[in-house]
A and B are shown apart, each in its own frame.
Chain A
């Protein structure tokens, strides 16, 4: 199983760098390289695959990491450390700002869609104008699903930035010998960008809205596999972003060399939903 969006040529190059042999990689080897992939790279991929408007809003993991590398070992009152903490706080502020802004937007959109559903039902369905009703509903359905997708992507945004922060703090602690991590994590756990309860609630409301407006399951036909893959292949779509997010999550939790008490266990996805969406290993432009 190969993660979407990652060119096999890239993987091969990476594998070469890591000391694997130079022949073409098979799927198993690709997976092993993926497993060893550092968080920074994964984050970069997530950012590339995410919605364009969001690209600049993620944690500046690379910058933070570079600062950590500059920290002189076992020295008190280092200026670099101060800069690191400063950047850290700036980043947290940035994450909060983006998150809260989006959250506000979702609140507005969700309520608007709820209104629309009611209105369309009144205007068309109640008056027997079935065709117009169907047309409007179809449009609304799409908007609801997209809203749902964006909200879930925001949750993913929160999660991935949190993981990045946790990792960078771990690196900092290791490098400087201090114990900043626990302290900062506690603070981070309370930050707006990590307190996703409202978004979670909105997502659930959205899901119940979906259940209302979608036709019953009985008359639907499954999508053909190639159609499914076409969906995933579409660039810069919400759908693609969510698939990539799921795959990335799975990969990130497969296990790492620096496993510690704060690491997450592997992801367990009960069904083969992802498998059915994975494209065959061909480069995706």
Chain B
């Protein structure tokens, strides 16, 4: 069951704040993401409402229904100045942004949060909200039983929750890019953050962070002091996150192994880490600059990094003799922790020291054969030939998977592109309140589209309707490509990609 413990969320944020190297923080907040955050807050408030209901708190609180409703009906953020900004929003930071929410919302960004904090009972000082968000201050008072949340749990939650923010950053950027105008969509895009946060609350079982995090000894009473300090600081600093490498895939998830993890960010190219240089670093998220211990994200090894590892191991006398500590020191890779090295060394030993020991029956071979007894020697069988056949099938599968993957990427790209186009048209339709003649052109410009299959915009003032027709169009658009009887279609794969190209070109022209 989801644990909507607001206290743990608070602690998450506080711990993050304490351990983040401020100098690495960047100004991230963009005004156009603001609507997203607002909607997201609505969701959070809804959860608080549930908590309230459960605990039968006094009346006089903000009516969540009102806020929910207003949020979902597309009211712009400016009409909701009293939304408490939650911990989660801090982590929705995106790169390359230079505005802070303060512009949009004024100080409420600060004060609602502080009221939240106050309500959770950790911070005694209430900072007044310039925009008069008095209703917010009545927000769910801190519940007595929550105060005694196990420090370990909260820390674990913190560790767990933190990591997932980075992985969803990309999502949010995407969402706001596409859906910043549509509150319903935005609402649900942000819900995932909440989901993440809460899901991680439950995944504490085998979390190694418990044992090793230095930040877990966070004292709740220090929060007050910290909060006071925060108040005076530039919010730009605070509102940052793993921003610099937003475009790179992040490996972020609850640690299931005993190794401690940090996030190592990888772009599509691999980080080269020559050991001899000594100062080349594995890219890490800003979260892990100070204490890697409390950070969840997992590391992703590369061949180059492994090479570095092997060199270090050999220097220390081989896999059996080398110690994680020694290897770590020799490797001199910034951001690498002993836990990474330890688990990697373990895997290394498994791979090496069973097969190296003897030439006959090796342990590794035996385990492997048990797991996947591929092509046991059968009588009358030529092993090499069997291997060749196996190889052939595998190569074929690999080929097809690559093709499939490229297709999928292209399809998604195209889908997103069309969606943006559609939204633009939708917006222009609504703006002009008449049938724009340009609406039909982009889609019909593609030679794959029969001319009658265009969006009918005369009836599409209603976005939902337009969306339906859009979906119809793209569905129909796709179908002819694969229909073998279609004269335009010889090879399904080729036509798919060529039509994507055509469509993109056509739409580019339109733009």
Contacts and interface: CB of A to CB of B under 8 A. Distances in A.
B501 interface: no
B312 to A, nearest CB: 14
Interface stretch (B98-106, B221-229, B278-286, B388-396): B388-396
A51 interface: yes
B214 interface: no
Contact of B196 (A89, A180, A191, A260): A89
Contacts of B300: 100, 103-104, 192
Nearest to B269: A197
Interface string A188-207: 01111011111010110001
A187 B385 contact: no
Interface in B381-403: 381-398, 400-402
Contacts of B252: 93, 96
Contacts of A104: 300-301, 344, 347
Contact of A262 (B179, B192, B299, B412): B412
Nearest to B398: A152
A117 interface: no
A82 B493 contact: no
Contact of B371 (A51, A186, A221): A51
Contacts of A110: 303
Interface in A89-107: 89-90, 92-94, 96-97, 100-101, 103-105, 107
Contacts of B383: 138, 142
Q: Which of B188, B405, B471, B474 has the most CB of A within 10 A?
A: B188
Interface in B351-384: 351-352, 355, 359, 365, 368, 371-376, 378, 380-384
Given A145-B394, A220-B385, A180 B188 contact: yes
Q: Which of B167, B252, B393, B481 has the most CB of A within 10 A?
A: B393
Contacts of B400: 246, 249, 267, 269
B339 interface: no
B394 A93 contact: no
A239 B170 CA distance: 37
B2 A239 contact: no
Interface string A120-134: 000000000000000
Contacts, number: 311
Contact of B199 (A89, A136, A180, A265): A89
Interface stretch (A14-22, A37-45, A228-236): A228-236
B195 interface: yes
Contacts of B191: 81-82, 85
Interface stretch (A25-33, A58-66, A154-162): A154-162
A246 B351 contact: no
B385 A81 contact: no
Given A148-B391, A210-B391, A92 B397 contact: no
Interface in B150-203: 164, 167-168, 170-171, 174-175, 178-179, 182, 184-185, 187-189, 191-192, 194-196, 198-199, 203
A92 B166 CA distance: 13
Interface string B295-310: 0001111110011001
Indicate the size class of the contact surface on chain A. 35 or more
B387 A141 contact: yes
A72 B415 CA distance: 27
A181 B376 CA distance: 45
A77 interface: yes
B344 A179 contact: no
Interface in B243-267: 247-257, 266
Contacts of B178: 182-183
B409 interface: yes
Contact of B301 (A107, A241, A255): A107
24 contacts: A86-B199, A90-B199, A111-B310, A142-B383, A143-B365, A148-B391, A182-B416, A183-B171, A183-B174, A184-B171, A186-B174, A187-B167, A190-B248, A194-B249, A198-B270, A227-B386, A228-B389, A236-B372, A237-B374, A237-B375, A238-B374, A249-B400, A261-B414, A265-B407
Interface of B: 2, 42-43, 46, 50, 68, 72, 164, 167-168, 170-171, 174-175, 178-179, 182, 184-185, 187-189, 191-192, 194-196, 198-199, 203, 247-257, 266, 268, 270, 298-303, 306-307, 310, 344, 347-348, 351-352, 355, 359, 365, 368, 371-376, 378, 380-398, 400-402, 404-405, 407-409, 411-412, 414-416, 418-419, 471, 474-475, 477-479, 481-482, 491-493, 496
Given A100-B299, A156-B397, A259-B479, 6 more contacts: A86-B198, A93-B167, A103-B301, A198-B303, A222-B385, A265-B493
